[in-house]
């Protein structure tokens, strides 16, 4: 589980990185500013190997691009819209926390940060990310099955119209010409092999003619 840690203070960044790695989390990717974080995420610029973190820890107060603006830009990326963002802030006013949530933050940590609280919040965020990823997979599987059912329904509806069959050779008209045997046509429509058999009436008629 990878974590992107964004903080413009070296000591704070090193402390948080040490706590996370000691708890077994990693790799921990660091960024010294909001702009550098956006570059590494490939939100702005073109990073050769953009990182795809499972959780982002973002300091709110940073020069140039602050945590709120960085959070808003991250949320504008479809690839990153489900990544939990934990905002780190020394501010405790309700308006500041509301601004963080409005920007797209999932959670927040107040400074000074204690190792116990950091690990608890990151663990919760990772569990949320796993659940969101699993839900997205289920939604994609459901969409695939829906598409499959729609295709099958379309094929069935196409069979409701008139089918032109040659009265002599029993070939089905396809693309304006009589090209397919009726057996081949049915196998294509239903995607199943046909079993060749003879009904009882035809069998009795065959015996009567032979007799």
pTM passes above 0.75: no
Same domain, 32 and 115: yes
| pLDDT, tens digit, 9 for 90 and up, residues 3-52 | 999 999 999 999 999 999 999 998 999 999 999 999 999 887 665 678 89
Same domain, 36 and 131: yes
Q: How many domains does the chain have?
A: 2
Q: Residue 6: what pLDDT?
A: 97
Same domain, 28 and 110: yes
Domain that holds residue 34: 3-141
Same domain, 13 and 116: yes
Are 82 and 129 in contact by the 8 Å Cβ rule? The answer is yes
Are 48 and 41 in contact by the 8 Å Cβ rule? The answer is no
Alpha carbons 56 and 71: distance in angstroms, whole number: 9
Q: Residue 71: what pLDDT?
A: 96
Are 64 and 33 in contact by the 8 Å Cβ rule? The answer is yes
- Of 138, 17, 107, 34, which is closest to residue 2 (Cα–Cα)? 17
In a domain, 82, yes or no: yes
Same domain, 40 and 126: yes
In a domain, 148, yes or no: no
Same domain, 106 and 195: no
In a domain, 108, yes or no: yes
Same domain, 175 and 204: yes
In a domain, 130, yes or no: yes
Same domain, 44 and 96: yes
Q: Which helix (H) or strand (E) holds 31?
A: strand 28-31
Tens of each residue's pLDDT in the chain, 211 residues: 899 999 999 999 999 999 999 999 989 999 999 999 999 998 876 656 788 999 999 999 998 899 999 999 999 998 898 999 999 998 878 898 899 999 999 999 999 999 999 999 999 999 998 898 888 889 888 888 888 888 777 766 665 566 777 777 778 776 666 677 777 777 777 666 767 777 777 777 777 766 5
CATH number at residue 12: 3.40.50.2300
In a domain, 85, yes or no: yes
């Amino acid at each position: 589980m990878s974590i992107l840690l964004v903080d413009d203070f070296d000591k704070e960044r090193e402390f948080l990185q040490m706590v996370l790695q000691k708890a077994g989390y990693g790799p921990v990717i660091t960024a010294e500013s909001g702009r550098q974080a956006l570059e590494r995420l490939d939100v702005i610029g073109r990073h050769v190997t953009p990182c795809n973190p499972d959780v982002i820890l973002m300091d709110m107060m940073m020069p140039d691009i602050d945590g709120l603006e960085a959070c808003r830009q991250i949320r504008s990326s479809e690839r990153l819209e489900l990544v939990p963002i934990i905002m780190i802030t020394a501010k405790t006013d309700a308006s500041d926390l509301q601004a963080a949530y409005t920007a797209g933050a999932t959670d927040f940590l107040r400074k000074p940060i204690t190792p116990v609280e950091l690990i608890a919040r990151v663990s919760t965020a990772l569990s949320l990310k796993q659940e969101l990823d699993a839900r997205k997979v289920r939604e994609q599987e459901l969409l695939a099955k829906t598409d499959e059912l729609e295709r099958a329904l379309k094929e069935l509806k196409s069979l409701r119209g008139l089918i032109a069959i040659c009265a002599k050779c029993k070939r089905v008209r396809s693309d304006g010409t009589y090209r397919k045997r009726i057996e081949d046509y049915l196998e294509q429509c239903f995607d199943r092999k046909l079993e060749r058999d003879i009904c009882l009436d035809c069998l009795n008629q065959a015996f009567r003619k032979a007799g």
